[in-house]
Amino acid sequence: MNASFPARRMRRLRAKDALRDLVAEQRLTTNDLIYPVFVLPGTGQREEVPSMPGVERLSIDLLLEETAKWVALGIRTLALFPVTPMSLKTECAKEAFNPDGLAQTAMRALKAQFPDVMLMSDIALDPFTSHGQDGLVDEAGYVMNDVTIEVLVKQALSHAEAGADIVAPSDMMDGRIGVIRDALEREGFINTCIMAYSAKYASAYYGPFRDAVGSSANIKGGNKKTYQMDPANSDEAIHEIALDVQEGADMVMVKPGMPYLDIVRRCKDELKVPTFAYQVSGEYAMHQAAFANGWLNEEAVILESLLAFKRAGADGILTYFAPKAAALLAGK
Ligand code: PBG
């Protein structure tokens, strides 16, 4: 063979659609997607989130209507985030475990109408605290670990009672997974899963979410760096995840998503547990801004961004693009 020609033609397997599909190492499916939704009090309420174009906050009646459409697209898991009125926020976050609270009521209504749709619920106090922190604070504004866990346990139990299939502690308190697991077992919720937000970073990418749930206005202390992780760290993430798994987490999560795909990969390689990633509000906002300006091709970039999570090792992805991606995957 003439030495000036390539010895190995990598392009051969890229020459045709069918060949490329045949050798594809990863495939994104609608089964991989979890759709986070924001729930409003009242009825007939529908509000766009300004920093998240295309994402609406919905009252329960409208949430039920929309869920029928999402189900028709093949979406099977929703993650619920209640938007709590200011008047119900307190220092002690007692609304978090109100059996008739918004999250609990929404779960009961969804389960009654869509028993096969899996419901994931957020365990953290930030939608319910007057100061916007994920836990109870002392006079200095420091988030107190152990007393916060006592409230998280009540919240988790009230969600399990309301029908949550997966409770997802996103608070980053130390030791909460073990205590929540024990409480769930004790109360008979042996099949309620825990997806731990294990490697949750103190990220500026959560800004639009905090607008959406109204927890941004006045975070006491200005940030969550005393409990969420430093973006500089990677070994620490593996340590956090390993502890949560030991304490009884069934699934773990890395958050945010795209800037932290290295953590997803390390988690999958080193711990070999069901691993999820959250393409967070700021990532969604960034993409939408580029789509709106015509700077990126919406359909292609949505699917590419989600496939990248799978390649990095994620078993599933929480994404605000879920309905759009599901429609694209169904060829709609
Ligand atoms: C609450 C919580 C947050 C997100 C999920 N659960 C915000 C925060 O920790 O401030 C962020 C999700 C997103 O940005 O899309 N603890």
240 carries a ligand binding annotation: yes
Residue spans per domain, the chain: 26-329
Distance CA 283, CA 317 (A): 13
**Which stretches of the chain are DSSP H helices?**
17-23, 60-72, 102-113, 145-162, 176-186, 207-213, 235-247, 261-271, 281-292, 298-312, 322-329
Residue closest to 316 by CA, chosen among 132, 215, 146, 193: 193
**pLDDT tens readout for residues 93-147:** 999 999 999 999 999 999 999 999 999 999 999 999 999 999 999 999 999 999 9
Which of 166, 216, 280 maximizes ligand 1 atoms within 8 Å of its Cβ, making it the mutation to test the pocket? 280
**pLDDT tens readout for residues 26-70:** 999 999 999 999 999 999 999 999 999 999 999 999 999 999 999
User: What is the pLDDT, as a whole number, of residue 252?
Assistant: 98
Residue 32 Cα distances to 43, 123, 183, 276, angstroms: 31, 22, 29, 9
**pLDDT tens readout for residues 174-230:** 999 999 999 999 999 999 999 999 999 999 999 999 888 877 656 777 899 999 999
200 in catalytic set: yes
On the 0-12 / 13-18 / 19+ scale of CB atoms within 10 A, 84 is buried
The sign of the torsion formed by the CA atoms of 200, 127, 124, 75 equals negative
On the 0-12 / 13-18 / 19+ scale of CB atoms within 10 A, 253 is buried
3-state secondary structure at position 223: coil
User: What is the pLDDT, as a whole number, of residue 316?
Assistant: 98
Ligand 1 centroid, distance to 74 Cα (angstroms): 25
Q: How far is CA 70 from the centre of its chain?
A: 17
Q: Whose CA is nearest to atom 7 of ligand 1?
A: 206
Which of 52, 57, 209 maximizes ligand 1 atoms within 8 Å of its Cβ, making it the mutation to test the pocket? 209
Q: Which of 200, 224, 268, 310 is catalytic?
A: 200
Quickly count: other Cβ atoms within 10 Å of residue 2's Cβ.
4
**Helix, strand, coil content of the chain in percent (nearest 5):** 45, 20, 35
**pTM, whole model, 2 decimals?**
0.96
Ligand 1 centroid, distance to 206 Cα (angstroms): 6
How many residues can be counted in the chain? 332
User: What is the pLDDT, as a whole number, of residue 248?
Assistant: 98
Residues in the ligand 1 pocket, defined by CB under 6 Å: 122, 124, 126, 134, 170, 206, 209-210, 280-281
User: What is the pLDDT, as a whole number, of residue 221?
Assistant: 76
Q: What ipTM was assigned to the predicted interfaces of this complex?
A: 0.96
89 in catalytic set: no
Distance CA 39, CA 45 (A): 9
Q: How far is CA 267 from the centre of its chain?
A: 17
The label of the residue with tokens 């319910």 reads 128
Ligand 1 centroid, distance to 210 Cα (angstroms): 7
Residue 71 Cα distances to 78, 100, 324, 332, angstroms: 10, 25, 13, 14
Would you tell me which CATH number, out of the four given (1.10.1200.10, 3.30.70.360, 3.40.190.10, 3.20.20.70), belongs to the domain 26-329?
3.20.20.70
**pLDDT tens readout for residues 269-284:** 999 999 999 999 999 9
